[in-house]
Amino acid sequence: MTASLTETSRADRVARPRHFVMCRPTHFTVSYEINPWMDTTQAVDADVALAQWEELKATHERLGHTVDVVPGVPGLPDMVYAANGALLTAEGNVGVRFTHPERAGEAEAYASWLEENGFGPVHRPVETNEGEGDLLVVGDHLLAGFGFRTALTAHAELARVLGREVTSLELVDPRFYHLDTALTVLDDDPAHPDVAYFPGAFSPAAQAVLQRLFPDALLTDEETAAVLGMNAVSDGLHVVLSPRAQRYADLLAERGYQPVPVDLSELLKGGGGAKCCTLVVRR
């Protein structure tokens, strides 16, 4: 399933220090159902969720990355999924507009905090987009998912605001309602961009686009995607991912990456993993 890579490319993996924004799950619970992972009859252990989140934050810091923490807001339990809070790029910063009213309040909470802490200005979008959940930067490409959360019309707004081309990718499986649940950015360096993705989450047209852009991409299987294994964070060498995605970890190791498992089983009850909890700051 893996594309062939030269030994040189495998040996070339380099970790690059990153700057992340996260939100402690102080108010996390599953009090509504807006994705297939959420079940209000399934109890959430708040203490375990917090401990797992703290381990994720500590792992990022141990790997040499900077982490800023946005304070959670009562009544907004999904703020822990910081990746949905914005898209921060060298060309500009774009806030979010959520599909579901349950999350609407997160948009301004994130935008205001970012501006107050030196990450602004933040464009308030007119069209619906859910930040890095559906918007992923890979080298010179801005990949944008649509089909469940982010509106296709948002892609034109993003292109206009950021002054860059946006590549639209249609998602077709409701389990993978955000792009970052089906695709991992393994290396965002324009010199050698690298991704992994589960083809079954995408329409045939989107699969063709991904094949054209990333002919050497690592293709994963439904078993990996079904544990949100693709919802991972990479610094170009280390890949923080679910310990349940062991096959994915093995494939990554073969490709020259270093898998770093972190258990986020409680936060998975809300439909998120390591990437959902991690917003990338790009200057």
Residue 230's CATH number = 3.75.10.10
Domain extent for 260: 16-280
In a domain, 6, yes or no: no
Q: What is the pLDDT of residues 181-195, one digit of tens each?
A: 999 999 999 999 999
CB 235 within 8 A of CB 15: yes
User: Which tokens hold the place of 275?
Assistant: 């990437």
Q: What is the pLDDT of residues 255-281, one digit of tens each?
A: 999 999 999 999 999 999 999 999 999
* CA terminus-to-terminus distance, the chain: 35
In a domain, 172, yes or no: yes
Phi, psi for 155 (deg, rounded to 5): -65, -40
User: Edge to edge, what strands does the sheet with 233-234 contain?
Assistant: 233-234, 238-241, 258-261
In a domain, 121, yes or no: yes
Q: For the chain, how many structural domains are there in total?
A: 1
Rounded Cα distance, 247 and 1, in Å: 11
In a domain, 238, yes or no: yes
Q: What is the pLDDT of residues 101-157, one digit of tens each?
A: 999 999 999 999 999 999 989 999 999 999 999 999 999 999 999 999 999 999 999
Question: Which pLDDT score, from 0 to 100, does residue 12 have?
Answer: 83
CB 127 within 8 A of CB 153: yes
Question: Which pLDDT score, from 0 to 100, does residue 120 have?
Answer: 86
Q: What is the pLDDT of residues 1-40, one digit of tens each?
A: 434 443 335 668 999 999 999 999 999 999 999 999 999 9
Report, as an integer, the average pLDDT of 204-211: 98
User: Which tokens hold the place of 254?
Assistant: 């073969």
Question: Strand, coil or helix: what is 56?
Answer: helix
Alpha helices in the chain (DSSP H): 7-11, 46-62, 104-116, 152-162, 204-213, 222-225, 246-254, 265-268
**Catalytic residue numbers, as ranges:** 178, 276
Rounded Cα distance, 280 and 136, in Å: 10
Q: What is the pLDDT of residues 55-92, one digit of tens each?
A: 999 999 999 999 999 999 999 999 999 999 999 999 99
In a domain, 87, yes or no: yes
pTM given for the model? 0.95
In a domain, 83, yes or no: yes
